[in-house]
Structure 1
Amino acid sequence: MRGHMDKTGSDLHLPAGCAAEAPYVLLVDPERAGWTYSALRTLALGPGASHAFDSGEFEWIVLPLTGGCTVQVNGEIFQLRGRTSVFDGVTDFAYVPREARALIASGAGGRFALAGAKCERRLPARYGPAPEVPVEARGSGVQAREVRGFAAAGAFACDRLIAVEVVTPGGNWSSYPPHKHDEHIAGEESELEEIYYYEIAGDGLGYQRISPSRPGGADMLAEVRTGDVVLVPDGWHGPSVAQPGHPMYYLNVMAGPGAEREWRIRFHPDHPEGYR
Structure 2
Amino acid sequence: MKTRRDDSIHLRSRRVPPGRSAPTIAVTPARARWEFISFTVRTLAKGDTWQAKTARQEMCVVLLSGACRVEWTTRDGGAGRGTLGPRAPRGSKVILTATAPTEIAECRAPSTVDRAAALVGPGDCGFEIRGGGNATRQIIDILPPRFPADRLMICEVLTPAGNWSSYPPHKHDTDRPPTEADLEEIYYFRFRHPQGYGFHRVYTADGRRDQTMLVRDGDLVIVREGYHPFVTAYGHDAYYLNVLAGTRRSMAASDDPQYAEFRHSWPARDPRLPLIPHPGGDAA
- TM-score normalised by L of structure 1: 0.86
Shift in Å at residue 37 of structure 1? 0.4
- Distance change >3 Å, CA 3–CA 111, structure 1 → 2: farther
What pairs up with 1:62-81 in 2 under 5 angstroms? 62-74=61-73, 76-80=79-83
Gaps of 5+ in 1: 81-91
SS at match of 2:228: strand
1: CA distance between counterparts of 2:131 and 2:171?
Answer: 18
User: Are residue 187 (structure 1) and residue 178 (structure 2) matched?
Assistant: yes
- Give the match for residue 106 of structure 1: 98
C-alpha root-mean-square deviation of aligned residues, in Å? Answer: 2.0
Pick from 140, 145, 148: which aligns with 2:137?
145
Contact 1:61 1:93 in 2 (8 A): yes
Pick from 222, 227, 233: which aligns with 1:231?
222
Pick from 235, 246, 249: which aligns with 2:236?
246
2: CA distance between counterparts of 1:159 and 1:24?
Answer: 26
Q: Which amino acid aligns with 2:79?
A: E
What pairs up with 1:161-176 in 2 under 5 angstroms? 161-176=152-167
1: CA distance between counterparts of 2:34 and 2:107?
Answer: 16
- Give the match for residue 252 of structure 2: 264
User: Are residue 46 (structure 1) and residue 45 (structure 2) matched?
Assistant: yes
User: Are residue 14 (structure 1) and residue 14 (structure 2) matched?
Assistant: no
Q: Which amino acid aligns with 1:267?
A: D
2: CA distance between counterparts of 1:133 and 1:104?
Answer: 21
Contact 2:134 2:164 in 1 (8 A): yes
Shift in Å at residue 68 of structure 1? 1.5
- TM-score normalised by L of structure 2: 0.83
2: CA distance between counterparts of 1:5 and 1:210?
Answer: 17
Q: Which amino acid aligns with 1:71?
A: V
Q: How many residues align?
A: 252
2: CA distance between counterparts of 1:180 and 1:78?
Answer: 38
- Give the match for residue 134 of structure 1: 126
Gaps of 5+ in 2: 16-20, 265-284
Shift in Å at residue 62 of structure 1? 1.0
Contact 1:12 1:230 in 2 (8 A): yes
- Give the match for residue 123 of structure 1: 115
Higher deviation after alignment, 108-117 or 161-170? 108-117
